């Protein structure tokens, strides 16, 4: 005999909901589900041995233009060979200035296009450090540490005319060089015209300057698929550079610079006087104490550091930045400190790994033959 059981409608409804919920939960993977085998944790090398678009997410500050680190890009400057030859002669010729100093006096090709001095040593001592000429084409519109020159003509003319740099005179330079048959020949080859103009001479120096590039690095090879090009410490440093160290916020893209201007809280000259930085040209209060972010290619070869050349080593610089610059003797915050300057509390080992990573941005010095001057 069959026994009929009558369940209340409410009980049936609860039972149906319970069955439904169980069915839904079984449709998702969970740690308790015996049919799902979790993937083992990837090693750091495995995380980075793929396209940079698939790297671990970098730690970006708010309102930052996100640009991933990238391999060295091709130099787009394709000026006429004859124009570059004219510019090279002028770059190495003391007659471009007052007969004592050349562009190469500070931008020495044998030392990665710097003079390795605290501040530029021209006709008189400068209060700013000499920046490298490598990849200068990338800086168009933001030349000098404070970005005051918008064009190469403007930047080069200022250096030639400066009483503390080259002590020359661009107004009389064409007439002076016009008397040299060798320069007339170089100029004619470059411009199909023998009549020199200062604009033509400045453009030639600019063409040579923009032809100066850095070389391929271990980091470039890594990004392009040679995933053994970085050793373990360099790889740790790369990860820290992008994450805990927050370095990528200012040092990004193929040249490791956002080309922007920041106040690091150390806007002084090498003598300790206040240096207004970008404010000197912009006259904007918000620009006080700001300087352009330097690129980091060959940074291990271009000491000393900062706009005033007072930081002797990368170890000192990374330590200062990791602790918010507060422990630098004589520090004076001029203007508004960048919100990017924070105490990151990087351990000594983490700082060391970042520095070792920076060594992977070094390339061989490219031999530059000095020209025979007209």
Sequence-separated contacts (24+) of 40-44 with Cβ below 8 Å: 44/235, 44/236, 44/239
**Co-location of 261 and 343 in the same domain:** yes
CATH number of the CATH domain containing 123: 1.10.760.10
Q: Does residue 186 form part of some domain? A: yes
Q: Residues 34-50: pLDDT tens digits? A: 443 434 589 999 999 99
- Tell me what pLDDT residue 329 has: 57
**What DSSP character marks residue 182?**
H
DSSP 3-state of 149: strand
- Tell me what pLDDT residue 150 has: 94
Q: Does residue 6 form part of some domain? A: no
- Mean residue pLDDT of the chain comes to 88
**Co-location of 124 and 157 in the same domain:** yes
Q: Does residue 144 form part of some domain? A: yes
CA distance 48 to 83: 43
Say if CB 151 and CB 85 are below 8 A apart. no
First to last CA, the chain: 122
**Co-location of 294 and 316 in the same domain:** yes
**Co-location of 238 and 179 in the same domain:** no
**Co-location of 139 and 231 in the same domain:** no
Q: Does residue 12 form part of some domain? A: no
Task: Supply the DSSP string of 249-279, one letter for each residue.
Answer: GTS-TTTT----EE--S--B-TTS-B--BTH
Number of structural domains (the chain) is 2
What pTM does this model have? 0.86
**Please, what's the b/e burial string for 1-22 (b: 16 or more CB within 10 A of its CB; e: otherwise)?**
eeeeeeeeeeeeeeeeeeeeee
CA distance 14 to 48: 50
Segments forming the whole domain that contains residue 250: 45-72+215-361
Domain end (from 189, 210, 231): 210
Q: Does residue 5 form part of some domain? A: no
**Co-location of 124 and 54 in the same domain:** no
State both tokens at 160.
Answer: 């030639």
**Co-location of 219 and 329 in the same domain:** yes
**Co-location of 156 and 100 in the same domain:** yes
Q: Does residue 123 form part of some domain? A: yes
CA distance 310 to 273: 13
**Co-location of 270 and 199 in the same domain:** no
Written as tens digits, the pLDDT of the chain (374 aa) is 333 333 443 433 333 333 333 333 333 333 333 443 434 589 999 999 999 999 999 999 999 999 999 999 999 999 999 999 999 999 999 999 999 999 999 999 999 999 999 999 888 778 899 999 999 999 989 999 999 999 999 999 999 999 999 999 999 999 999 999 999 999 999 999 999 999 999 999 999 999 999 999 999 999 999 999 999 999 999 999 999 999 999 999 999 999 999 999 888 887 878 899 999 999 999 999 999 999 999 999 999 999 999 999 999 999 999 988 765 555 667 888 899 988 999 999 999 999 999 999 999 999 999 999 99
**Co-location of 357 and 226 in the same domain:** yes
Say if CB 51 and CB 57 are below 8 A apart. no
Domain end (from 159, 189, 210): 210
**Co-location of 140 and 155 in the same domain:** yes
Backbone angles phi, psi at 311, to 5 degrees: -100, 115
Residues forming a β-bridge with 343: 323
Q: Does residue 373 form part of some domain? A: no
**Co-location of 130 and 246 in the same domain:** no
């Amino acid at each position: 005999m069959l026994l009929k059981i009558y369940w209340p409608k409410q009980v049936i409804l609860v039972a149906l909901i319970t069955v439904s919920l169980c069915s839904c939960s079984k449709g998702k993977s969970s740690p308790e589900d015996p049919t799902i085998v979790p993937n083992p944790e990837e090693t750091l090398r495995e995380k980075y041995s793929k396209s940079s678009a698939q790297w671990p997410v970098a730690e970006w500050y708010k309102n930052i233009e996100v640009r991933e680190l990238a391999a060295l890009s091709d130099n787009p400057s394709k000026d006429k060979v004859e124009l570059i030859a004219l510019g090279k002669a002028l770059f190495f010729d003391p007659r471009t200035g007052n007969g004592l100093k050349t562009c190469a006096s500070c931008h020495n090709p044998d030392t990665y296009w710097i003079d390795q001095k605290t501040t530029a040593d021209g006709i008189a001592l400068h209060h700013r450090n000499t920046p490298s000429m490598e990849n200068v084409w990338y800086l168009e519109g933001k030349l000098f540490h404070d970005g005051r020159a918008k064009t190469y003509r403007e930047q080069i003319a200022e250096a030639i005319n400066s009483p503390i740099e080259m002590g020359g005179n661009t107004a009389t330079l064409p007439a002076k060089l016009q008397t040299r048959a060798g320069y007339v020949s170089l100029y004619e080859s470059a411009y199909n015209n023998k009549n020199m103009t200062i604009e033509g001479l400045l453009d030639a120096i600019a063409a040579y300057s923009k032809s100066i590039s850095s070389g391929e690095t271990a980091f470039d090879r890594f990004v392009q698929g040679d995933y053994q090009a970085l050793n373990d410490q360099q790889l740790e440093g790369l990860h820290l550079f992008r994450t805990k160290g927050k370095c990528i916020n200012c040092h990004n893209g193929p040249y490791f610079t956002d080309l922007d201007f920041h106040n690091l809280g150390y806007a002084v000259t090498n003598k300790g006087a206040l240096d207004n930085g970008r404010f000197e040209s912009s006259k904007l209060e918000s620009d006080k104490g700001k300087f352009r972010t330097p690129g980091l290619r060959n940074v291990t070869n271009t000491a000393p550091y900062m706009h005033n050349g007072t930081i002797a080593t990368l170890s000192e610089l990374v330590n200062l930045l990791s602790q918010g610059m507060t422990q630098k003797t004589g520090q004076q915050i001029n203007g508004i400190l960048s919100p990017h300057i924070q105490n990151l509390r990087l351990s000594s080992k983490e700082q060391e790994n970042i520095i070792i990573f920076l060594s992977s941005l070094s390339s061989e010095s490219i031999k530059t033959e000095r020209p025979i001057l007209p």
